[in-house]
Structure 1
Amino acid sequence: MDKSLHVVVLMGGWSSEREVSLTSGRGVASALRERGWSNVTELDMDRDVALRLSELKPDVVFNALHGTPGEDGTVQGMMDLMGLRYTHSGLETSVIAIDKELTKMVLVPHGIRMPAGTIVESESVFSGDPLPRPYVLKPVNEGSSVGVAIVTADGNYGNPIGRDVPGPWNEFDELLAEPFIRGRELTVAVLNDEPLAVTELKIDSGFYDYEHKYTDGRTVHVCPAEVPGDIARAMMDMAARAHRLLGCKGASRSDFRWDDQQAEAGVYLLEVNTQPGMTPLSLVPEQAKLRGIPYGELVERLIGEALADGALQ
Structure 2
Amino acid sequence: MPNKSITIAIICGGLSPEADVSRLSASRITPPLEKHYGKVIHLELDSTLPAELLRHKVDIAFPVAHGPYGEDGRLQGLLDIMGVPYVGSGVTASACSLDKIVTKRVLAKAGIPMAKDRVVYRNEHIEEATLECIEQLGPKVIIKPPCQGSGIGVQFALGYDDLKEKLEAGLKLDERLLVEEFIEGREITAGVLHLEDYTSLPVIEVKTPDNAWYDYLHRYTPGLSNHIIPAKLPKHQYQQVQNIALKAHKALNCLDLSRSDFLVPENGTPIFSELNNLPGMTPTSLYPDGAKHMGIQFEELLCSLINHAMTRFRKQANNGGYWPIPKLKL
Match of 1:214 among 203, 211, 220: 220
Over 3 Å counting, the alpha-carbon distance change for 1:271 and 1:125 in structure 2 is farther
Superposed, 1:67-106 pairs within 5 Å as 67-106=67-106
CA distance in 2, matches of 1:119, 1:54: 42
Question: 1:182 is aligned with what amino acid?
Answer: E
Q: How far is the alpha carbon of 1:170 from its aligned partner? A: 3.7
Query: What are the Cα deviations for residues 179-216 of structure 1, in whole angstroms up to 9, with x where unaligned?
Result: 11111110001111211011101112431121211111
Over 3 Å counting, the alpha-carbon distance change for 1:240 and 1:160 in structure 2 is closer
**2:56 is the alignment partner of 1:56:** yes
Q: How far is the alpha carbon of 1:16 from its aligned partner? A: 0.5
Over 3 Å counting, the alpha-carbon distance change for 1:299 and 1:160 in structure 2 is closer
CA distance in 1, matches of 2:4, 2:247: 33
State the partner residue of 1:26: 27
After TM superposition, where is structure 1 displaced by more than 4 Å over at least 4 residues in a row? Answer: 122-126
CA distance in 1, matches of 2:232, 2:14: 37
| Secondary structure of the corresponding residue to residue 146 of structure 2 | coil
State the partner residue of 2:206: 201
CA distance in 2, matches of 1:160, 1:242: 30
Are 2:259 and 2:287, in contact at CA under 8 Å, matched by a contact in 1? yes
Are 1:148 and 1:168, in contact at CA under 8 Å, matched by a contact in 2? no
| Secondary structure of the corresponding residue to residue 114 of structure 1 | coil
Gaps of 5+ in 2: 318-330
Over 3 Å counting, the alpha-carbon distance change for 1:281 and 1:196 in structure 2 is same
Are 2:157 and 2:163, in contact at CA under 8 Å, matched by a contact in 1? no
Superposed, 1:153-302 pairs within 5 Å as 153=159, 158-159=161-162, 161-162=164-165, 168-192=170-194, 193-204=198-209, 205-260=211-266, 262-263=267-268, 265=269, 267-302=270-305
State the partner residue of 1:41: 41
CA distance in 1, matches of 2:229, 2:163: 40
User: Aligned residues, how many?
Assistant: 305
CA distance in 1, matches of 2:296, 2:44: 27
CA distance in 1, matches of 2:284, 2:248: 24
**2:307 is the alignment partner of 1:304:** yes
Over 3 Å counting, the alpha-carbon distance change for 1:162 and 1:279 in structure 2 is same
CA distance in 2, matches of 1:286, 1:296: 12
Over 3 Å counting, the alpha-carbon distance change for 1:120 and 1:229 in structure 2 is same
Q: How far is the alpha carbon of 1:284 from its aligned partner? A: 0.8
State the partner residue of 1:12: 13
Identity of aligned residues (%): 34
Q: How far is the alpha carbon of 1:86 from its aligned partner? A: 0.2
CA distance in 2, matches of 1:175, 1:245: 24
Question: 1:216 is aligned with what amino acid?
Answer: P
Over 3 Å counting, the alpha-carbon distance change for 1:175 and 1:160 in structure 2 is closer
Q: Report the more deviating stretch, 134-143 or 124-133.
A: 124-133
CA distance in 1, matches of 2:307, 2:295: 18
| Secondary structure of the corresponding residue to residue 103 of structure 2 | helix
Are 1:149 and 1:167, in contact at CA under 8 Å, matched by a contact in 2? no
| Secondary structure of the corresponding residue to residue 255 of structure 1 | strand
CA distance in 1, matches of 2:108, 2:178: 16
TM-score by length of 1: 0.91
CA distance in 1, matches of 2:125, 2:6: 52
CA distance in 2, matches of 1:256, 1:231: 11
Query: What are the Cα deviations for residues 236-261 of structure 1, in whole angstroms up to 9, with x where unaligned?
Result: 0100111111111111000000111x
Q: How far is the alpha carbon of 1:68 from its aligned partner? A: 0.9
